[in-house]
Structure 1
């Protein structure tokens, strides 16, 4: 059983990554302090956010992780994905908005 599971698990994960990068995207849940647009009421408060990010962002994050990106690089990519999906609504109206992502208490990413 262990051998079958050891062979099966990487295949299931690879399929989930492909699906996330091509059609499904990722769901990101985070709790961070100071997460929000600069000079807004959100900027200085602890905030819980759950949002689905696009397959394009999912592909960037998963590829970077696979190729050995640093934690800082990954944090920047996750912040950009959340900013687009949650604050900018995929470019609608607030495309130039800069979002800070710091003092992260919790970060969960799921397929």
Structure 2
């Protein structure tokens, strides 16, 4: 994923009401409850069915780092789907908060500066932008499309002050140093 996709994933995880399982055995057991067969778990993790059985029995507790990372990622991806969905619905009702440090370039009327510069911006975006962003993510939109939605929201709310100034301003949102998106 890209920066914005990862930030939305972190926002989902902030909504967790319980922590995901920590031990390898508990994680494999959880995945087994989700996908129903050891063959499916083995396919997800890229290991043999026998390895999955060893993890379940507890005879093998420490998988190699790449497998442990895949195991953690698969569990986190499936953990508390209803809690995540509730947080997303709440975000489409209340909006999202975007905190970022990035380069913002401008295209504006003649005589104004169009030199891009790095800014730190924290802005609450209205529910309409939250809904568009979450719908695009659910539809499998790429990072460029997600970045465009966030850029449009920051342009309209932060730079144009909801249409009260700089009518012809166009903002470019590039060189993201960090971005953090929060629901609500």
The TM tier, using the shorter chain, reads 0.7 to 0.9
- Is the radius of gyration larger for structure 1 or structure 2? 2
Looking at structure 1, the residues matched to 84 and 97 of structure 2 have their Cα atoms a distance apart, in angstroms, of 16
Counterpart for residue 50 of structure 1? 122
What CA RMSD, in Å, does the superposition of the two structures yield over aligned residues?
2.3
**How many residues in Structure 1 have an aligned counterpart in Structure 2?**
107
In the alignment, is the contact (CA less than 8 A) between 1:43 and 1:100 conserved in 2?
no
2:83 to 1, 9, 12: 12
Name whichever structure is richer in helix by fraction.
2
Looking at structure 2, the residues matched to 104 and 43 of structure 1 have their Cα atoms a distance apart, in angstroms, of 16
Point out which structure has higher relative CO (alpha carbons under 8 A, 6+ apart). 1
Name whichever structure is richer in strand by fraction.
1
Unpaired segments of 5 or more residues in structure 2? 1-17, 22-29, 31-75
In the alignment, is the contact (CA less than 8 A) between 2:92 and 2:128 conserved in 1?
yes
Q: Give me the TM-score of the superposition, normalised by structure 2.
A: 0.52
Are residues 36 and 51 of structure 1, via their aligned partners in 2, closer, same or farther at CA, if it must alter by over 3 Å? farther
Looking at structure 2, the residues matched to 95 and 19 of structure 1 have their Cα atoms a distance apart, in angstroms, of 31
Deviation at 1:42, TM superposition (A): 7.6
Q: Give me the TM-score of the superposition, normalised by structure 1.
A: 0.82
Deviation at 1:89, TM superposition (A): 1.8
Deviation at 1:8, TM superposition (A): 7.3
